[in-house]
Amino acid sequence: MYTEQDIQTIVSAQRKFFRTGVTLPVSWRIEQLKKLKAAVIAHADEFTAALAEDLGRSEVEAYLCDVGPIIVEINEMLSGLRRWARPERHFSGWMCFPSLITKVYKMPYGVSLVISPFNFPILLTIGVVAAAMCGGNTVVIKSSSKSAACTAVLKKFFAEVFPPEYVTLIDGGHDVADMCLAQRFDKIFYTGSPAVGKHVLSEAAKNLTPVALELGGETGNWCVVRADADLKDAARKIAFFKLTNAGQICININQIAVAEEVAEVFIEELKKAFVKQIGEHAETNPEYPKLITDAAYDKCAKLADEYRERIVFGGAGVKATRKYAPTIIYPVDINEHIVQHELFCPLLPVVPYKDAEVDNLMDVIADREHPLAMYLFTKNIRWANRVMQTQQFGGGCINEVCVHMMVKGVPFNGTGHSGMGAYHGEWGFREFTHPQTVLKGSTRFNLPLREHPYGGEAGKKKMALLRLFEK
């Protein structure tokens, strides 16, 4: 068990290490990222085994969703870091004459705290740590106690690869997390629920520490299937996504709104897609992931029982293995409580609406808390583009699911109840650095323009020059 003094000692050691300036050279950061990448590849089997123990992930899903994306992310950093870190050079403007050159340096914040979640414990720990390292920071990690096997592997992993004054992992429960938050960090990155996000932000405010929050969204992510959509294609993609990690994904589909004109046909296609991909009894399929804890399983099963009469597919589980089948609930009114909070499980409520009234549907969604993701299935691309440019959410897809996460060079995160800040690639570098503006002054040709007197003839001349310079 950690004490407050233990954590304070860790933070102090990292602050002392950061102030040596060792982390500042880009060449040094690149070497550390290379070391991190090599270690991830070398420990891939350990990560896969830990993900199987905690979440029941198959080897393919573990690599697809956790291990592989880390390697891709680090590769992007290695290829772009020198360019991203290069100071920007700006013309200072005639108002600053004779000081004509200003530079913007991308400085690391310093000692960072990364609080990672249970659902993608490898990706959302190492991926964020890589961004912090890319920016030149030291890192203290507080990993989830729910994914105990992954936390144990990660603690051993970081201890082998980096000295604790540079990167170190702290395990434990919420009490340990609060002890971490009580310390003065220079940057905090939290991934998890909006409720805990509020707590993190409140604690960070005591030290005015800048915070990035990657949250799931209070009222969940919507998928809208219009009457003109390719229903078989939509069903196939939605089924794949809902099966992934048994629905325990911050960008997963929380509920589907389907045009009532095609709702019955769509649901039949969705059933077929689930059966084709996982079989008729997902809860007994060894490839199907499990819910993270008994409490998570019980919460899912209890909610399913509440809607038992409207379950049209699934609705079965095995508590001993914590596996609950993908479950379609239909019909569900848009104002029912099941579609007004994040589910984070395999339940999939389906809300029918009239296709001609789709804009009214989007207004209702817009009135709720901003989701982390939005998915639209339709042949009306003009309408879809308009929605994507007017709704507020983290990111999304038209006629696709989740793969926007795999695109290089673009940011990821939400807004409001789905997060603040952004990361991935260069955006992660930006999130963990502060732009510092530095003007290079001149000791020659300085004019008395800014100096008193401001009245009389001198003032008139200065006003004339000021107006000239402002053009």
Each residue's pLDDT tens digit, 157-172? 999 999 999 999 999 9
DSSP symbol at 298: H
pTM, rounded to two decimals: 0.95
* Amino acid 399: pLDDT: 98
CATH assignment of 4-216+418-434, given 1.10.10.10, 3.40.605.10, 3.30.572.10, 3.90.550.10? 3.40.605.10
Residue 357 identity: E
Where are the domains positioned within the chain? 4-216+418-434, 222-406, 441-469
The stretches in the chain having pLDDT less than 50 are none
Q: Is 160 a catalytic residue?
A: no
247: left (phi over 0), alpha (psi -120 to 50) or beta: left
Q: Give bridge partners of residue 135 from the DSSP assignment.
A: none
Phi, psi of 101 (to 5 degrees): -115, 130
Q: How many helices (H) and strands (E) does the chain have?
A: 16, 18
- Asked if 153 contacts 126 with a C-beta cutoff of 8 angstroms, the reply is no
Q: Is 250 a catalytic residue?
A: yes
Other residues' Cβ atoms within 10 Å of the Cβ of residue 233 = 14
In this predicted model, what pLDDT tens digit does every residue of 94-134 receive, in sequence order?
888 899 999 999 999 999 999 999 999 999 999 999 999 99
CATH architecture of 222-406: 3-Layer(aba) Sandwich (3.40)
Phi, psi of 397 (to 5 degrees): -145, 150
* Amino acid 445: pLDDT: 86
* Amino acid 96: pLDDT: 86
Q: Which of 250, 345, 397, 402 is an active site residue?
A: 250
* Amino acid 335: pLDDT: 97
Q: Which of 61, 73, 214, 426 is an active site residue?
A: 214
